[in-house]
Chain A
Amino acid sequence: MYPLSRRVMLVASAGAGALLALPFGTRAAEPAKGGRLVVAADSEPPNLNPAMIASNGVFFVASKVIEPLAEASYEGKGGLVPRLATAWEGSPDGKSVTFKLREGVTWHDGKPFTSADVAFSALKVWKELQNLGRVVFKELTAVDTPDEHTAVFQFATPTPFQLIRNALPALTSVVPKHVYDGTDIAKNPANTALIGTGPYKFAEHKPGEYYLLKRNEAYWDKDRPYLDEIVFQVLPDRAAAGNALEAAQIDLAAFSAVPLADLARIEKVSGLKVYANGYEGLTYQLVVEINHTRKELSDVRVRQALAHAIDRDFVVNTIFLGYAKPSTGPIPQYDKTFYTDDVPRYPFDTAKANALLDEAGYPRGADGTRFKLRLLPAPFFNETKQFGDYLRQALAVVGIDAEIVSNDTPAHIKAVYTDHAFDITVGPPVYRGDPAISTTILFQSGLPAGVPFSNQYGYANPAVDDLIKKAAAAIDEAERAEIYKAFQKAVVGDVALINVAEFSFITVASEKVQNVSNNPRWAVSGWADTWVQA
């Protein structure tokens, strides 16, 4: 018989005790109603209307109050889950889209939600005032409302239903017609004291201090939301957000408010949890924009050499501390519909880079330098600035002297997108669910100067422009996907720009908070199912 020493007994009883504890810990708990969620906010947009300004800063607060037609989902059909629209269908000729709208929905001021609100929002706000809506809804001519719960979007030219579907979460926030109609929409006070249909009502904004949202008792999804209140506390300093989490004075910090370098430490704090998912629908891409008007850079071999000089794994592991993926092209791997990996690859190979540069006719000078470039890293994220530092070192290895020019945000925008005063830049364009929304504009030629986040680097390939035009009108979804795959092959082959990595954000939350990061746009979604454990 196995000798039962005291140590064995102690260990065994501890193990038995742990086993007993398990079943109670793993049973799924019932959502509890009530409680307040305190969230860190780092900015206070002057205009909080998400129908007008489709930015993350606005959505972070506004999405709990104002709802879109559909929201993004991991499990839903087509990656969508119904909100104000319950069903959507495109016509075979691509010139109309019919939305069935949800019944029994009221605005926060008590008036009923009807198709007239959708028609108004689409024609007067999304199409005319919203930066991305002006692109996607350009051909929208009318919205018919045969009854209070049906809206039919009419387009002048065939418009891919697929594009409209992909644009639903970010571009289709519905605002009340009876509040905005007949007023100067941009100056309407409802842009700061929001009125919507969402799970939370706008209660108070104390400038510089906080936003307070209260539960909408008349929300269309009975039994939801669970929380009584959500408070967005304005904490402009990033260290403050991390400290506030540790001191349990806030419950949640999204959009990497806690810097990557602090995550290892924060993870160890008991009571806090780090979520690396929940932002797939907001994928940012780390790219090197190249000024094709510069003689050296107009040679594709030079651009290929630049691509070969970059060690993507190093970037992902050292700059993003593992919270990113190497990128192969302009469409992120997450988008299974459009992504293809059948594109030319430029693996890290300094020997090849050197050979290409020699072949292109730029030998090393006496000091080892082939030529100089001005490098403007975007100041928007710490990681873009750090990548700028890395890029300078990586290019020095292959004999290119990249001089870093540091600017703050407005100066960078002007220098790159208006003045074109750069040779290479580091930029973070956003992929918003469909290439036509904000990605093809990075490759289209013939754009006027002064349009930020677009092709301001002189890249022009008529074949690519052709593909972009065709895809914008392709009704058949399979055909459209194929066109975009050809598009990826073409722009990566041209090295129009260099896609280095795909990254997103991190959420750190108290363990009490439940249902965090459960959809691909979680931080900018409605939070109707979020609850806190007592």
Chain B
Amino acid sequence: MRRALILLLRRLIGAVPVLLIVAVGAFLLLEAAPGDAVDAYLAATGGADSERVSELRAEWGLDRGPLQRFLAYAAALARGDLGWSTAFQRPVLDVISERLPSTLILMGLATALAFGVGSLLGIFAGARPGSLRDRALSLTSLAVYAMPGFWLGLVLIVIFAVDLRWLPIGGLETIASGKSGLDRFLDIGRHLLLPVASLGIVYLALYLRLMRDSMAEIWKEDFVRAARARGIPRRRLILRHVARNALLPVVTMLGLQFGSMLGGSIVVEGVFAIPGVGRLALEAVSQRDIPLLLGVMLISAVIVIAVNLLTDIAYAVLDPRVGSSGTAA
């Protein structure tokens, strides 16, 4: 317990410089991009006269220099205020918190699909490395991993939504349906089938291969041979000895891949019209909305840090050797 708390504390302290780097980095990148939020606004609204243009710049604080603006932003952040989004004309915190649940659900389900099904299939393949089913699964997973996620998404839409009309083409739920409770839950589930599949299937292939390769390595270990010699039944051997050890690198990969999946969610959210945080980042860049972009980047960084922390804890739980001599963790 104490070890877990120390881990948590170390991680939290270590998170601060990470977040600072993310904030400064994102700010500098968007500053370096030519054009500002007022330019984006003028393009969308058909222009304005020069008086109005100066008025807008003053109103949005864009007439100050970059250092001034960053310091003002940092000061507000210290108070927990994520600032005002010029693209949405609302507080950044409101904009993000409205959309965060959709992204988290999408990514949570996609990760569950990828990790759950991927690991199971990986165990199935790795149970007998070199067998026909192993080769078939490995080949298929390689092909799937090579597919671009957005292409897969569009193909799934064309087949299941346009041609077969079994599933909706996008959106989070049926519009103004008035449903609640289980009905609404099922409705959202139906809408999320294709997006979760497009986002998850590619990572499923990754976890499948990882699990399978990991198991193939473990099969060669001495303790497995010893266990076989002891007469442990095959199924127990595979699950409790080989797979359980093979799971460790896959769990680590889960934490690492979560960040890249968050990036992939931008495209999937766009294609399937899901109101998530990924699209917000895109909007923020195209409208040069610095507070919004920083808000999205910071919240994403916090989520990724949290997920990595959870996987580290999971790793420690799964592997009794971790932390026992104080050398790991």
Contacts and interface: CB of A to CB of B under 8 A. Distances in A.
A410 B271 CA distance: 24
B279 A236 contact: yes
Contacts of B37: 410
Interface in B301-328: none
Contacts, number: 153
B89 interface: yes
B166 to A, nearest CB: 10
A413 B162 contact: no
Contact of B47 (A209, A449, A451): A451
Contacts of A212: 175-176
A54 B52 CA distance: 15
A274 interface: no
A410 B43 contact: yes
Contact of B272 (A55, A240, A452): A240
B6 to A, nearest CB: 41
B181 interface: no
Contact of A414 (B35, B46, B90): B35
Nearest to A211: B175
Nearest to A248: B165
B175 A38 contact: yes
Interface string A235-271: 1110110011011110000000000000000000000
Nearest to B98: A207
A286 interface: no
A231 B49 CA distance: 34
A387 to B, nearest CB: 18
Given A207-B98, A454-B47, A409 B162 contact: no
A210 interface: yes
Contacts of B172: 209
A132 B49 CA distance: 9
A240 B271 contact: yes
B270 interface: yes
A410 B279 contact: no
B270 A237 contact: yes
Contacts of B287: 410
A185 interface: no
A131 B43 CA distance: 12
Given A209-B273, A410-B36, 15 more contacts: A38-B175, A207-B99, A237-B273, A243-B157, A246-B162, A410-B40, A411-B33, A411-B34, A412-B43, A413-B40, A413-B43, A414-B35, A438-B46, A452-B39, A452-B47
4 closest A-B pairs (Cβ-Cβ)?
Answer: A208-B275, A410-B35, A46-B89, A410-B39
Interface of A: 38, 43, 45-47, 53-55, 57-58, 131-132, 134-135, 203-204, 206-210, 212, 229, 231, 233-237, 239-240, 243-244, 246-249, 380, 407-415, 418, 430, 438, 447-454
20 contacts: A46-B89, A131-B47, A131-B48, A131-B52, A207-B275, A237-B270, A237-B273, A247-B168, A407-B34, A409-B40, A410-B40, A412-B35, A413-B39, A414-B34, A415-B34, A438-B47, A451-B53, A452-B42, A452-B43, A452-B48
